[in-house]
Each structure stands twice: as C-alpha cells, then as structure tokens.
C-alpha cells in the first residue's frame, strides 16, 4: 500500500475546515442538517482515499543478489565442500510479482523466481560421490550447480496500514542439480527437484509521508531430515511518479539455507547469503 496521508489526518483536516466555516459565519454551515451532510461526505471521501489504493494493487520487482556460497555436497557420506569445487562468490537474478485485492476469503498471490546457477573448475582435494559416480581426489573437475527455484506464495494481509503484516504458505518449486565432469570418470549428476511447502511471514513498517520503509520476510520448512529456510531484511524508499505508479528501491541482506538428506539422490548442506538490491514498481 502506498504511504499517503492517513485517514485520521484527513478527517482532522475536514473537521478543521468545517470549524473555520462556522466561525466565519457561513450561511450554509449555520444549518445543523447541512453541516452533518458535509461531514458525512468528508467521512466518505476520507475512507475512499485511505482505502481506495488497497482495492487492487499490483507490485513487481527485479533485483540482483550477491551470494557467498558455502557448504557440502555428496552422497552416502562421501562429500566435498562447495569451496573445494571452486564455488564461493556467485550471483543471482531475482524477479517477483505480487497481486493484492480486497476479497477477504481469497488469498493474495506473490510469484518469485531466483536464478542461482554457476559453473566452476577446480582440482579436488578429496574423493566424493555424486549421482552414484565416485570422483577421485587430486583430479581436474568441471562442476555445474543449479539451485534455481520458483515460489508461489498465497498470503493474507492481517495488517495493512503503516504496519503491514502478512501470513501465508509458499509452494517452492525446485529445479536444481549438481553435475561434475571429471577427466577420469563419466559425468556425474544428482538432482534436487520437487515442491516444498513453506510457511511464509512478512513484516513491513512504513514511515508515513517520507517514502521510507523497513521490512523482513521469512520462509521455512523442516521435514524428515530435510530443511530449507529463506529470510531477508530490507530498507526501501519509494516515490510517486504518477497517481497510478510508484517507483522505489530496496537494499538488504538475504540468507538461504538448505539441508537435504533424503531429497532425491543428493546430500546437500549449503548456505547462500549476501546483500541484494532491487527496483520495485507499484501500480
């Protein structure tokens, strides 16, 4: 929701206007019935202005996430570190779109896609197994890793004023894999595919009249040894370009953790963390 004059502030302005008209002896304002009609119109106008922007809201964002990638991958207890495979500082492109409406029963919808894909070359310092294929130590390997995912989040706005509080559930579609090509063995590939249901919570504090805001988002699930959490904090600023469009920026820090013990044919214990920046549009 856009940060504009609050409903209370508008009502105070209208009441002040009525009082001034009465003091200056307005013929119209001397009639109690007419005065009440004007006050009722002011109330309707205030409510319409305060809540009209939340009748239908479309939000979109595009950003870049700078990732410090750490952790272990492997299979059947034979693992290696991601740093040993050459991964450390990676990048991710993030796109999201949110649709909000006033129908209480139907949840709002937020779609987000995070592209996390990288290829690195290294000389292994220890042996490990990927996709059932043993990889020896001290060999040259080319590793391709993809932890990209798409979120479909269904949520309700429990608070929607200068404090926004959302609760919901996310369906995270994983399309990941780890592929290792060694000079001494056949290509090894392990997949990380499926759909994870995750709890979703979002809190945002707007500073009325300034355009500034702070917020935090958290998602997570734990099930039979598999675990994924995704949390971020942000600082943002928006300004009105036209009555139908706000443009803003967010900067923040995001941490994603993944522990997969019984997920397909891959063991993974990874952490992705780092700063991000994004451009935000509100129609």
Q: Which pTM does this prediction carry?
A: 0.80
**Tens place of pLDDT for every residue, the chain, 283 residues?**
444 444 444 444 445 544 544 555 444 444 555 445 444 444 444 333 333 345 788 999 999 999 999 999 998 889 999 999 999 899 999 999 999 998 889 999 999 999 999 999 999 999 999 988 999 999 999 999 999 999 999 999 999 889 999 999 999 999 889 999 988 778 899 888 889 999 999 999 999 999 999 999 999 999 877 899 999 999 999 999 998 899 999 999 999 999 987 665 788 999 999 999 999 999 8
Indicate if 172 and 223 belong to the same structural domain. yes
Indicate if 45 and 61 belong to the same structural domain. no
Q: What is the pLDDT of residue 58?
A: 94
Indicate if 93 and 209 belong to the same structural domain. yes
DSSP string, 80-148: EETTTTT-SEEEEEEEEEEEE-S-SSSPEEEEEEEEEEEEEEEE-SS-EEETTEEE-SS-EEEEEEE--
> What CATH number has the domain bearing residue 127?
2.40.128.90
- Cβ atoms 91, 66 nearer than 8 A: yes
Indicate if 159 and 219 belong to the same structural domain. yes
User: What's the gap between Cα 231 and its chain centre?
Assistant: 8
Indicate if 256 and 123 belong to the same structural domain. yes
Indicate if 112 and 199 belong to the same structural domain. yes
Q: Which residues pair with 64 in a beta bridge?
A: 93, 277
Indicate if 20 and 138 belong to the same structural domain. no
CA dist., res. 255 & res. 22, Å (int): 59
Indicate if 84 and 161 belong to the same structural domain. yes
Range of the domain at 161: 55-282
The number of distinct structural domains making up the chain is: 2
Residue 103 counted as domain residue: yes
Indicate if 44 and 95 belong to the same structural domain. no
Residue 2 counted as domain residue: no
Indicate if 24 and 153 belong to the same structural domain. no
- Cβ atoms 283, 245 nearer than 8 A: yes
Q: Which residues pair with 109 in a beta bridge?
A: 99, 154
- Cβ atoms 188, 265 nearer than 8 A: no
Residue 164 counted as domain residue: yes
Q: What is the pLDDT of residue 176?
A: 87
């Amino acid at each position: 929701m856009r940060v504009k004059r609050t409903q209370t502030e508008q009502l105070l302005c209208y009441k002040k206007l009525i009082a001034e008209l009465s003091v200056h002896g307005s013929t119209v304002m001397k009639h109690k019935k007419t005065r009440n009609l004007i006050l009722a119109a002011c109330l309707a106008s205030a409510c319409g202005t305060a809540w009209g922007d939340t009748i239908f809201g479309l939000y979109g964002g595009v950003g870049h996430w700078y990732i410090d990638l750490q952790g272990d991958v492997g299979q059947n207890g034979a693992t290696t570190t991601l740093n040993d495979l050459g991964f450390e500082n990676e990048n991710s492109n993030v796109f999201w779109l949110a649709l909000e409406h006033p129908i209480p029963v139907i949840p709002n919808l937020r779609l987000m896609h995070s592209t996390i894909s990288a290829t690195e070359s290294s000389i292994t310092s220890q042996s490990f197994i990927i996709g059932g294929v043993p990889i020896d130590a001290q060999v040259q390997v080319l590793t391709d890793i993809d932890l990209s995912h798409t979120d479909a989040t269904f949520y309700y706005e429990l608070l929607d004023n200068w404090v926004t509080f959302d609760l919901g559930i996310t369906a995270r579609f994983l399309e990941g894999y780890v592929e290792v090509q060694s000079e001494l063995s056949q290509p090894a590939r392990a997949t990380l595919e499926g759909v994870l249901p995750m709890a979703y919570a979002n809190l945002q504090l707007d500073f009325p009249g300034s355009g500034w805001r702070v917020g935090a988002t958290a998602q997570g699930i734990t099930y039979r040894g598999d675990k994924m959490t995704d949390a971020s904090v942000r600082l943002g600023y928006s300004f009105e370009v036209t009555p139908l469009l706000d443009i803003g920026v967010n900067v923040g820090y995001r941490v994603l953790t993944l522990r997969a013990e019984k997920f397909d044919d891959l063991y993974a214990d990874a952490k992705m963390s780092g700063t991000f920046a994004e451009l935000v549009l509100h129609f």
